[in-house]
């Protein structure tokens, strides 16, 4: 058997194995349900769900199948080990996500390649908008208007990734996460003055990941753990963060063809995910790149209650010694409307 045939069989087996694992998991889940119940029901509850929202346009357009991909500063939001092989000295990612219900996410990440690894800092700010605040009252309306509240959420952290060998890398994030629901009026005192209470919560969390280059073409295997934290208590109820465990693989499928890699590239990426508050799911994404400049992407995650197709595109260019990239992603969310993401990136 010649080398080319062996290569094709190797890749086919790797993809078949990943898909088979996902299929077996899905079948086992289905057996746990009663015949008339929806298989995608919740199995637990978590807090600070803003930590689960995908913020990078390139990743979102590929259904977040990013665990085994080598990336730049955006890797901090998925698998920090992915930036260990960053070729450029530094990288900056700036992005905005127009989320459902007019919620806006703003994110930024900066990574810098040193002789002892890649260091990074990142931040996420969430604007939930302005809400009318009312309290119950014995009047004709049954309530009193007492102003407005503007809840927010944020997460900030530091990241480190290092290639231990030319084929194996590790990475981790340490981050601070907080939600501030503002100061709210809980009642009126005997004089009719408002009695207010501050509602906020915060905690520390850790992300961890590894990435392994198999040595066969560009085939990568990886795993990642996100949002590992202690249990926290809000008011009288305790909850955990949306802990997520993923295993993924990725490869440029055109590596096994005679096509010029400088002209054409097709990255296929697949993740199997086990979140704390949902059943296992599979994420698959593809990215075609023409001449290293223009990219088109698509991805799909299943099973999912409301999320549909993901798609997007990207442009990459060099402005002197500075590299520039623009990415856009569109995601369907059925009854909740659609989500748009924009990202600008620079490297030097």
User: Which pTM does this prediction carry?
Assistant: 0.84
Q: Are the C-beta atoms of residues 67 and 209 closer than 8 Å to each other?
A: yes
φ, ψ at 272 (rounded to 5°): -110, 130
Closest CA to 175 of 208, 128, 135, 215: 208
Token match 């087996």: residue?
Answer: 13
| pLDDT < 70 stretches in the chain | 1-44
What letters, b where the CB count within 10 A reaches 16 and e where it falls short, cover 242-251? Answer: bbbbbbbbbb
Query: What are the backbone dihedrals phi and psi of residue 78, each rounded to the nearest 5 degrees, phi first?
Result: -135, -75
Instruction: Return the pLDDT at 2.
Output: 54
Q: What is the pLDDT of residue 42?
A: 52
Q: Which residues contact 337 (CB under 8 A, 6 or more apart)?
A: 100
Three-state DSSP class for residue 89 = coil
Spatial distance between the Cα atoms of 68 and 211, rounded to a whole number of angstroms: 6
Give residue 40's region: left, alpha or beta (phi > 0; psi -120 to 50): alpha
Under a CB-based contact definition with an 8 Å cutoff, are residues 277 and 30 in contact? no
Please tell me the distance from the alpha carbon of residue 327 to that of residue 286, in angstroms, as a whole number. Answer: 15
pLDDT value at residue 187: 78
Peptide bond preceding 303: is omega within 30 degrees of 0, i.e. cis? yes
Instruction: Name the CATH architecture for the domain at 3-347.
Output: Beta Barrel (2.40)
- Residue pointed to by tokens 């890398």: 169
Q: What is the pLDDT of residue 138?
A: 79
Q: Residue 80: which of 212, 209, 228, 175 has the closest Cα?
A: 209
Decide: helix, strand or coil at residue 291.
coil
Q: What are the tens digits of pLDDT across the range 289-319?
A: 999 999 999 999 998 878 889 999 999 999 8
pLDDT at residue 44, rounded to an integer:
56
Rounded Cα distance between 252 and 64, Å, is 17
Residues 6+ positions from 77 with CB-CB distance below 8 Å = 54, 55, 56, 59, 107, 109, 122
Domain ranges of the chain: 3-347
**Within 10 Å of residue 144's Cβ, how many Cβ atoms?**
16
Burial class of residue 1 in the structure, from the number of CB atoms within 10 Å of its CB (0-12 exposed, 13-18 middle, 19+ buried): exposed
Distance, C-alpha 66 to centroid of its chain = 8
Instruction: Return the pLDDT at 51.
Output: 96
pLDDT of 37 reads 43
| Percent share of the chain, pLDDT over 70 | 87
pLDDT of amino acid 30: 42
């Amino acid at each position: 058997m010649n080398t080319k045939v062996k290569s094709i069989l190797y890749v086919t087996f790797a993809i078949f194995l990943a898909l088979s694992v996902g299929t077996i998991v899905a079948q086992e889940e289905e057996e746990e349900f009663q015949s008339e119940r929806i298989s995608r029901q919740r199995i637990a509850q978590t807090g600070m769900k803003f930590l689960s929202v995908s913020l990078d346009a390139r990743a979102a357009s590929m259904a977040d199948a990013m665990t085994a991909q080598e990336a730049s500063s955006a890797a901090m939001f998925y698998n920090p080990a992915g930036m260990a092989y960053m070729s450029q000295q530094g990288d900056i990612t700036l992005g905005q996500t127009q989320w459902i219900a007019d919620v806006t996410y703003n994110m930024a990440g900066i990574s810098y390649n040193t002789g002892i690894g890649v260091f990074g800092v990142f931040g996420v700010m969430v604007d939930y908008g302005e809400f009318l605040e009312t309290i119950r009252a014995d009047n004709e309306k049954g309530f009193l208007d007492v102003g407005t509240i503007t809840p927010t959420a944020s997460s900030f952290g530091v990241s480190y990734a290092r290639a231990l060998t030319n084929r194996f890398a590790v990475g981790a994030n340490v981050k601070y996460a907080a939600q501030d629901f503002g100061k709210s009026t809980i009642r009126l005192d005997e004089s009719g003055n408002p009695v207010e209470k501050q509602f906020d919560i915060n905690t520390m969390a850790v992300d961890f990941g590894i990435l392994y280059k198999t040595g066969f073409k560009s085939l990568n295997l990886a795993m990642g753990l996100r949002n590992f934290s202690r249990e926290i208590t809000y008011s009288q109820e305790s909850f955990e963060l949306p802990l997520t465990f993923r295993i993924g693989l990725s490869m440029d499928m055109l590596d096994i063809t005679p096509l010029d890699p400088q002209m054409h590239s097709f990255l296929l990426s697949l993740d199997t995910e086990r979140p704390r508050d949902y059943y296992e799911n599979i994420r698959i994404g593809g990215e075609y790149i023409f001449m290293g400049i223009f990219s088109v992407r698509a991805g799909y995650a299943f099973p999912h209650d409301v999320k549909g197709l993901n798609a997007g595109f990207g442009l990459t260019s060099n402005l002197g010694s500075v590299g520039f990239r623009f990415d856009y992603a569109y995601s369907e969310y059925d009854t909740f409307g659609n989500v748009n993401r924009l990202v600008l990136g620079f490297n030097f």
